[in-house]
């Protein structure tokens, strides 16, 4: 009850999905890797006494993995379609701004949309974008570990399946993150249009 009543309400949806779930899955992957190396007995690792420490560690690790994602995964955040540029011109005119780049105008639009979006779609799409982007980094970073096991064990099929699965999951989660980034962008601009017409 402590976690539900005291800890989780203080975290927004991006904190929970983009950091906590990403860090939690990375710990599970790490523990599985150590188990494969026969270096870890899983029984004493998780218990109620260490739960809060694991949650805090997962949250911190999630931040680290998102920093990795920022470095390795580059979205085209400064490139906009012609229709998006038209909406951004409306943002510029609506707020009477001068000398703002398209990226800065989109940031202003995002802030307004996330504050006024009563459906919660803008924040949800951003959270799912962070979740899938973080998971893609986890599985891309895990692939070399399985490749090492493949080579060390003379191309054992068991480890080869894990290697290809890790790469495939990384690619799938990367694609999902890109899809949710597109949803986020579209919903942000649509929300601005709706708000300014009311």
Q: What is the DSSP string of 5-69?
A: IIIGGGS-HHIIIIIIIHHHHHHHHHHHHHHHTT---STTTS-TTTHHHHHHHHHHHHHHHHHHH
Confidence at residue 119, expressed as pLDDT on a 0 to 100 scale: 87
Per-residue pLDDT tens digits of the chain, which is 198 residues long: 444 445 556 778 888 888 889 998 998 888 888 778 776 665 556 667 777 888 888 899 999 999 989 888 888 888 899 999 999 999 998 888 888 889 999 999 999 999 988 888 999 999 999 999 999 999 999 999 999 888 888 888 888 999 999 999 999 999 999 999 999 999 999 999 998 875
Q: Which of 72, 104, 73 is nearest to 91 (CA)?
A: 104
Q: How many CA atoms lie within 13 A of 74 on its CB side?
A: 5
Q: Using only C-alpha atoms, what is the Rg of the chain?
A: 21
Query: For the chain, how many structural domains are there in total?
Result: 1
Q: How many CA atoms lie within 13 A of 23 on its CB side?
A: 20
Is-contact 8 20, C-beta < 8 A? no
Confidence at residue 161, expressed as pLDDT on a 0 to 100 scale: 92
Is-contact 13 123, C-beta < 8 A? yes
CB atoms within 10 A of CB 108: 17
CB atoms within 10 A of CB 45: 13
Confidence at residue 9, expressed as pLDDT on a 0 to 100 scale: 64
Q: Which of 89, 82, 127 is nearest to 109 (CA)?
A: 89
Distance between CA 117 and CA 40 in Å, rounded?
46
Predicted model pTM = 0.85
Confidence at residue 2, expressed as pLDDT on a 0 to 100 scale: 44
Q: Which of 115, 108, 126, 101 is nearest to 179 (CA)?
A: 126
Domain enclosing residue 165, as ranges: 2-197
Distance between CA 119 and CA 100 in Å, rounded?
28
Confidence at residue 6, expressed as pLDDT on a 0 to 100 scale: 57
């Amino acid at each position: 009850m402590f976690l539900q009543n005291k800890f989780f309400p203080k975290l927004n949806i991006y904190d929970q999905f983009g950091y906590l779930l990403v860090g939690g899955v990375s710990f599970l992957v790490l523990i599985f890797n150590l188990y494969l190396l026969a270096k870890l007995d899983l029984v004493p690792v998780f218990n109620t006494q260490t739960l809060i420490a694991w949650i805090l560690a997962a949250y911190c690790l999630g931040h680290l993995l998102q920093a990795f994602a920022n470095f390795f995964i580059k979205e085209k955040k400064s490139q906009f379609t012609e229709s998006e540029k038209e909406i951004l011109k409306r943002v510029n005119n609506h707020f009477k701004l001068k000398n703002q780049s398209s990226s800065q105008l989109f940031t202003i639009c995002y802030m307004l949309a996330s504050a006024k979006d009563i459906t919660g779609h803008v924040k949800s799409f951003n959270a799912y974008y962070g979740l899938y982007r973080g998971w893609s980094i986890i599985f891309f970073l895990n692939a070399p570990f399985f490749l090492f096991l493949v080579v060390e064990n003379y191309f054992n099929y068991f480890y080869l399946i894990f290697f290809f699965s890790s790469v495939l999951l990384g690619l799938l989660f990367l694609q999902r993150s890109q899809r949710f980034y597109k949803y986020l962008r579209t919903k942000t601009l649509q929300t601005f249009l709706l708000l300014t017409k009311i």
